[in-house]
Amino acid sequence: MSDENVERPVTIYEVAAAAKVSPSTVSRTFSRPGRVSVRTADHVRAIATKMGYREESIFRPVLATRHRTIGLAVSDVTNPFYFGILRGAESQATKADYTMVLMDAQESVTHERDNLDRMLPLVDGLIVASSRMSDTVLRSVAKSHPVVVLNRYVGGLPSVIPDTAHGMKQAIAHLLQLGHSSVHYLAGPDASWISGMRWLSAREAAASMGFSIHRLGPVLPTVEGGASAVEQVIARKATAVICYNDLTAMGLIRQLSRRGRSVPETVSIIGCDNIFSSDLITPSLTTIAAPMGVLGDTAVKNIVAMLGGARPLATGPITIPVKLMVRRSTGACPIPRD
């Protein structure tokens, strides 16, 4: 048989030339991915796949060197939503003799990826909460480090999410009991997976109960973001609004009050997450409560198990129960004025 008919394997040097990087960078991409930036690793892997490059040790999931450190990446550390997650994760990490390292993305995908490049060489595993990065990037990180995703489902990765569908059913049923016949959903950032799921779940719950439902926004996941939606709420003559999170709900309540529209006499408001201050505002906020500490605790337990050699159950997300906390921001549907 002629050697010309035998397919010659692609070499590391050919991949390096095509990717315009050094051969050592290609080598690290496959043998020690944590030493290469996420952007570079994605680029090299794409070129290698296109060229048919093969490497038996590719994407080894467990790092050779252990730091006994777990990274926790959040989209905005000033958001009280993360306080419970941080406490639950830190408590469980301490029990397992690990140290937590916090990374704040400041609601920026670019900042999140840059921080991730710096953090990966220093941690054994990574918890990513409400990430704005793509599924592809998160899966790429998981090829070098154990990764658990919070408040979002990424196929193929261990994910922990609140039971959004059940929470929205409770909220819609509550508004129906109060005499409302329609509801508006104030959406968070377009890149937020959980905002999309809350909208989808609200639509399904409304349809099953004979409600009409409308979408407002998107807005930033902040008090200011909620306040910015006041003109939309007034223009739509909304009598009930379910907000992306408690912060947007608080901002909307405050701005409605400034415009002379009291809550819940003119508009009923429901938030999501039950952050620590949700029952301290006036009126106290009705909200879909999720046990944030359980999310953080569960994520760390899964990371530690994977570092010990366990295979993650990634066939579907781990779902955490939620509960509607009824307070004073929801009330009877106002009678239309002539």
Kindly state whether residue 10 falls inside one of the protein's structural domains: yes
Q: 296 and 284 share a domain? A: no
Q: What would the DSSP string read from start to end of 44-71?
A: HHHHHHHHT---TTTT-SS-SS---EEE
d(CA 78, CA 125): 23
Q: Does 142 lie in the same domain as 179?
A: no
Do residues 177 and 276 both lie within one domain? yes
Query: What confidence score (pLDDT) does residue 32 get?
Result: 61
- Per the structure, the count of domains in the chain is 3
C-alpha distances out from residue 5 to 1, 8, 22, 64, 271, Å? 7, 9, 30, 39, 66
Question: Distance between alpha carbon 9 and the CA centroid of its chain, in Å?
Answer: 41
Q: How far apart are CA 283 and CA 270, in angstroms?
A: 11
Residue 131 · residue 74 · CB < 8 Å: no
Question: At 3, is the secondary structure helix, strand, or coil?
Answer: helix
Tokens of 122: 């220093």
Regions of the chain short of the pLDDT cut 70: 1-8, 31-35, 54-65, 313-314, 336-338
In a domain, 277, yes or no: yes
Task: Please report, for the domain that includes residue 157, its CATH number.
Answer: 3.40.50.2300
Are 168 and 283 within one domain?
yes
Residues 296 and 277 in one domain: no
pLDDT of residue 42: 82
Which DSSP symbol is given to 122? G
93 part of a folded domain: yes
My answer on whether 21 and 85 are in the same domain is no
Q: Same domain for 218 and 235?
A: yes
Write down the pLDDT at residue 35. 66
Secondary structure (DSSP) of 213-267: EEEE----SSHHHHHTTHHHHHHTT-SEEEESSHHHHHHHHHHHHHTT--TTTT-
Distance CA 305, CA 311 (A): 8
* Domain presence at residue 318: no
Would 338 be classed as within a structural domain? no
Residue 60 confidence (pLDDT): 38
Per-residue model confidence (pLDDT) at position 106 = 80
Q: Report DSSP state, residue 4.
A: G
Q: Looking at residue 338, what is its pLDDT?
A: 39
Range of the domain at 92: 69-162+292-307
pLDDT at position 34 is: 59
Decide if 315 is inside a domain.
no
